[in-house]
Structures are given as structure tokens and as C-alpha cells.
Amino acid sequence: MTTLGSDPLQGGTSTEGDPVESLLEVLSLASTEARTTEDIFTGISLPMPYGRVYGGQVLAQAVVAASRTMDADRPIHSMHGYFLRAGDSSKGITFSVDRLRDGRSFSARRTQAFQEGVPIFSMIASFQTEDDGLEHVIPAPDVPGPDEISSPEGTGVHPMSRRRFGDLPIEVRHVDGSLYGADPVAPQPRQAVWVRSRREMPDDPLLHRAALAYLSDMTIQESILRAHGLTWMTPGGTVASLDHAMWWHRPVRVDDWLLYVQESPTSRGGRGLATGRIYTRDGDLVASVAQEVMVRAPKEILEERARAEG
């Protein structure tokens, strides 16, 4: 959960050094001898400014845990998960993987993440052998490239946010300007963001699929805020990810620039829906994402909108 008006960089760390190496360490889950009907793995968290586990991190770790029970020739192609409770980044996480089904082409796994015996995240994922089939892609939008966009670490950004940008393992560049400043933005329910890891990563395809899951939880909530002209620095509201779905379409490397195209089709009842498509720089669609988010707007803004509509 993030309170609007506070530092929005949930995926940032509070340690110095190589943030990509820190991410790789977090994704290197340890297996244990403990087992009932499930495979058990344990992991650590990136240090966080406010002590809460970043949702994209536990999502990526769950992908690694489930994938460790699969052969390499049957990669993950989809997942559906729920964020159940806020995790404590100072404590370890236990992942249990239930082998639901292994068919001729498809496999299914259920993964749950626990802290102190209580589930904080639950996911079901599907895996498939590589196969031939029909292919089509909705083209990527024509937007300025990452080299044409200035870094968000420049002027107009909250000083704490600017400092922590360098701690992120993922570099982020907003095509239409970031939401990390205090000035209102023109209302529009969409945005495009360039993302990549801050340095080259190992060639292991699983690491890149997991890292893509990690970054898929970054910025996607912002299409909901943009729809109402809000920024992360608008005081008085809260934002929290409720669930997350993701589909991997094609092989990907996260150390090359990726275009994350996001939009919000609707919000109502304190919830907003955000969807995203992730493209390579060459225009290949590598993944699709959907997330529902709890959005509690400041009371003053709700009253102002009600007066304007009434």
C-alpha cells in the first residue's frame, strides 16, 4: 500500500551497491529438505524504505519457485495472483509449490508465499512446451525512444524519490513525464514507459521471465492516477495492488529497453483496473499484464468532483 503524497518508489532499496546484483540474490531461492505434498523454497527481500515487501518482488519469487519444479523446456506462460497481506521486508519468506497437474503439453502449479505461517501472496501459474501455432500482434504505438527521453532523476521530482531512483534495479523513463512531481497532470487514462535493468543480466531465460514479472508491477497503477489528473505526490489518498495477472508471449531480455504501454479502462467503488502490454524495442509483444488496484482518493478531491458533476 502506498499513501499518495509519500515516496512512491515501492521497488527501491535502501542499500548502496549494485541493485541488479541485489535483485539476482533475491531471486536465488533456497530449496529445503522439508516437504509434505509440496516443494518448499525460502527467500529474502530487498530492503525497503517503509519495511513493506514490494509486490513485484514476491510475484517474481513465486514465478521462480514454481518454475524450479518444471523442466527448462516447459516455461511459464501465464500466472494469476492475489496480494493477500503486506509483507515485512526484514523477515524471510517461505514459498510452497503444489504440483497441480502435468499433462502432455501443459502443467499447472499453485504457489503460496508465507511469513510467520501466514500467507501474503497466492498464485496459480501455467506452463507449456514450445509449440507451433497462429501468430499476430497488435503493433506498438509510435512513441519517442528511450534515448529521446530525459531521466526522471532530473528537476521537478521529489528529492527523496530522485535519490532512490538510482537504487532501483530497473531503469524507468516515462514517455509523457513521470508522476513523481507535485504538479497536476492532464487527465488521460493511459501512458507509456520505457524500462530495462540497469546492467546486463545472466543469460538464464528464467531470470529474465522473473525479472519481467518484477518490473510488471512498477508504474502500472499510474494509468489510473493519470485518468484523474493525480500524481504520487497528491496528498491524502492510498493505492494498493489487489491482484495481478500476466501472460508471457515470447522470449525476452530485460536488459534491453522494453516499452510498457498501459491504460486504465475503468475505476469505480475504490478500485481501478489497469492493463499493460510490454514490447521489445523492435516491436515484438513479449507480455501482457492486468492488475486491479485499490485507489482511495483524497476526500477533498471526491467532494470537488461531486460538486462539478452536480
Rounded Cα distance between 300 and 74, Å, is 51
Q: In 10 A of CB 292, how many CB atoms?
A: 17
Q: Compute the half-sphere exposure of residue 292: CA atoms within 13 Å on the CB side of its CA.
A: 11
Helix axes 55-67, 19-27, angle to 10 degrees: 50
Q: Which of 279, 277, 272, 278 is nearest to 243 (CA)?
A: 272
Q: Residue ranges of the alpha helices (H) in 84-204? A: 159-165
Cell numbers of 170, please? 530497473
- Residue from 89, 112, 241, 262 carrying the catalytic annotation: 241
Mark whether 284 is an active-site residue: no
CB 249 within 8 A of CB 256: no
Using left for φ > 0, alpha for ψ between -120 and 50, and beta otherwise, residue 117 falls in: left
- Residue from 45, 67, 217, 267 carrying the catalytic annotation: 217
Q: Residue ranges of the alpha helices (H) in the chain? A: 19-27, 55-67, 159-165, 205-216, 222-227, 299-309
Q: In 10 A of CB 209, how many CB atoms?
A: 24
Helix (H) or strand (E) holding 46: none
CB 20 within 8 A of CB 170: no
Cell numbers of 28, please? 536465488
Q: Which of 167, 213, 169 is nearest to 59 (CA)?
A: 213
| Pairing of the two strands 118-128 and 76-83 | antiparallel
CB 204 within 8 A of CB 254: no
- Residue from 161, 223, 267, 291 carrying the catalytic annotation: 291
Mark whether 217 is an active-site residue: yes
| Pairing of the two strands 106-115 and 118-128 | antiparallel
Mark whether 223 is an active-site residue: no
Active site positions, annotated: 217, 241, 291
